[in-house]
Amino acid sequence: MGCYLSTSKKVQKPGYEEPNILASETPFSVCEVEALYELYKKLSNSIIEDGLIHREEFQLALFRNKNKRNLFADRIFDLFDLKRNGVIEFGEFVRSLGIFHPNAALEDKTAFAFRLYDLRQTGYIEREELKEMVLALLHESDLMLSDDMIEAIVDKTFGDADTKGDGRIDQDEWKAFVSKHPSLIKNMTLPYLKDITLAFPSFVVRTEVEDSEV
């Protein structure tokens, strides 16, 4: 790697953010953010060596196949890409993963899931969106169900969740539905994030944490 002459003592990579700042805004500690950076470096240089996570790199990590598209993985990528510039920067990566931390607030997880399922970002989960997602899941699992059966599954869930009966699920209805079925946001928690410093110990060599901060 080249060495830049810079007034600040540290070379800033594109999309890089200070671990201190990220730690203060997320459930992660400074060291955990640095350990996540070790992971980020791997992910963001796996295909295009520019230190940014592209969609193909995300798919490669998730499915071991850079060309495998999946509606839900796409949605996650889009939500991680807060700036909507087609790549996940380090700060976006840490802030979004923070929601998946076991210690993150349930409200944050619930809200994240809502945005995920609100495919067209209308502020509501519409019946058509739910059906589209059910179809995607069945397709992904190679399952062929009759259209009647799929309609029945969607109807039943909509009947339970759309308590106001206006044909769409709003944020409040979603919150109520999740509190009745907490398992719905089980996939919003990644237990691995708890021992991230043990999984990526290389950060101990490169850490920039000043001793005074210790």
| Sites of contact with another protein (CB under 8 A) | 29-32, 34, 39, 43, 61-65, 68, 70-76, 97, 100, 117, 130, 133-134, 136-137, 140-143, 145, 149, 152-154, 156-158, 160-161, 177, 181-187, 190, 192, 195, 197-199, 201-205, 207-211, 213-214
Task: Select 47 or 61, whichever has its Cβ closest to another protein.
Answer: 61
Q: In angstroms, rounded to a whole number, what is the distance separating the alpha carbons of residues 18 and 20? A: 5
Least distance to another protein from the beta carbon of 49, Å? Answer: 18
Q: In angstroms, rounded to a whole number, what is the distance separating the alpha carbons of residues 146 and 211? A: 64
Task: Select 123 or 182, whichever has its Cβ closest to another protein.
Answer: 182
Task: Select 160 or 172, whichever has its Cβ closest to another protein.
Answer: 160
Least distance to another protein from the beta carbon of 131, Å? Answer: 8
Q: What letter represents residue 23's amino acid?
A: A
Task: Select 122 or 187, whichever has its Cβ closest to another protein.
Answer: 187
Least distance to another protein from the beta carbon of 64, Å? Answer: 5
* CB neighbour list of residue 29: distance below 8 Å, 6 or more residues apart: 23
- 28 exposed, middle or buried (CB, 10 Å; 0-12, 13-18, 19+)? buried
Using alpha carbons, select from 92, 88, 26 the residue that is nearest to residue 57: 88
CB 150 within 8 A of CB 137: no
Least distance to another protein from the beta carbon of 150, Å? Answer: 9
Tokens linked to 161: 């969740």
